[in-house]
Amino acid sequence: MNSLFNLLNVSNREYVIYRSLLKQGSVSIRELAADTKINRGTTHEILRELVKKGLVCYQMSGARKRYLAESPQKLLNIAKEKEAGIKELISSLDTKVIPELEAFKIAGSSPAAKYYEGEEGIEKVLLDILYSVSQTKEKQYYAYSALPIRKYLYKQFPNFTKQRIAKGIQVNVIALGKGGEEVQLAQRKWIQNSSYTSSSYIIIYANKYAIVSITENELPYAVIIEEPGLVQTQKTIFQSLWSLLP
């Protein structure tokens, strides 16, 4: 539950103080510190933050302040304010900020290459495939599949295929060697060659070209190259080869 309050920018200690105030009613800092087992100095600082956030108020009792919790409904109000802010941010990112940044990136003179290590790195590549391809009109990508790498590919992301299908993304696969399953929104052709020992899996998607492979010590890694010209060339080669395979 506390993690949900963290999303509202309410820390665990602030939550403890707020809950104690709801339980006790009007209390002094000394009484609050005693109930929460948080020292008085820290309690005072937390109360200042909660007052700023509108979750706590105080009343004067002589020369001293006694603190009260505002209605829990305030938490819902904060959440709604954040929701409105997030919606505005998403709209701004989608219509203005990202297009401007993308235009700046495309204007660069050199292709972007990113390197990822381990199975967690491969998972990041798979997530990027789902996101990037879902943003394209054709919602399709192409892959060269090699048997040695298949056991690493979805180890950290076993639901990748389900998510791909849910997003309506088509994949055409040229399998180098035997293996592979028939699944929805996927077409597969094979190059049967018993001497083929490649340990690389190549994915052509959106404006990106990814290579997933393993080192001699069987450590998986991945590289993404973002270069539209390279991608278009590789896509043309793939489609030409695809048309020749039975």
Determine contact, residues 101/188, Cβ cutoff 8 Å. no
Instruction: List the structure tokens of 219.
Output: 């450590």
In the chain, what are the domain boundaries? 2-71, 112-244
Q: What is the CATH architecture assignment of 2-71?
A: Orthogonal Bundle (1.10)
Mean pLDDT of 63-82: 88
Q: pLDDT category, 98, cuts 50, 70, 90?
A: confident
Task: Give the position of tokens 């108020």.
Answer: 57
- If pLDDT is split at 50, 70 and 90, which confidence band does 110 have? low
DSSP string, the chain: -HHHHHHTT--HHHHHHHHHHHHH-SB-HHHHHHHHT--HHHHHHHHHHHHHTTSEEEEEETTEEEEEEPPTHHHHHHHHHHHHHHHHHHHHIIIIIHHHHHHHHHT-SS-EEEEEEHHHHHHHHHHHHHHHHHTSSS-EEEEEEEHHHHHHHTSS-TTHHHHHHHTT-EEEEEEESS-----TTEEEEEE--TT-----EEEEETTEEEEEEE-TT--EEEEEEE-HHHHHHHHHHHHHHHHH--
Question: 112-244 adopts what CATH topology?
Answer: Endonuclease; Chain A (3.30.870)
In the predicted structure, residue 183 carries a pLDDT above the cut 60: yes
Chain segment 131-169, per-residue pLDDT in tens: 999 999 999 999 998 877 777 888 888 899 999 999 999
Average pLDDT over residues 27-34: 91
Spell out the residues 6+ positions from residue 220 whose beta carbon is closer than 8 angstroms to its own.
117, 118, 119, 121, 122, 149, 152, 212, 213, 214
Q: What is the mean pLDDT of residues 66-75?
A: 89
pLDDT at 10: 87
* Average model confidence (pLDDT) across the chain: 85
For residue 171, name the pLDDT band (cuts at 50, 70, 90): very high
Same fold, 2-71 and 112-244: no
Q: What is the pLDDT of residue 143?
A: 94
Other residues' Cβ atoms within 10 Å of the Cβ of residue 208: 23
Residue with tokens 């048309």: 243
Band of pLDDT at residue 106, cut at 50, 70 and 90: low
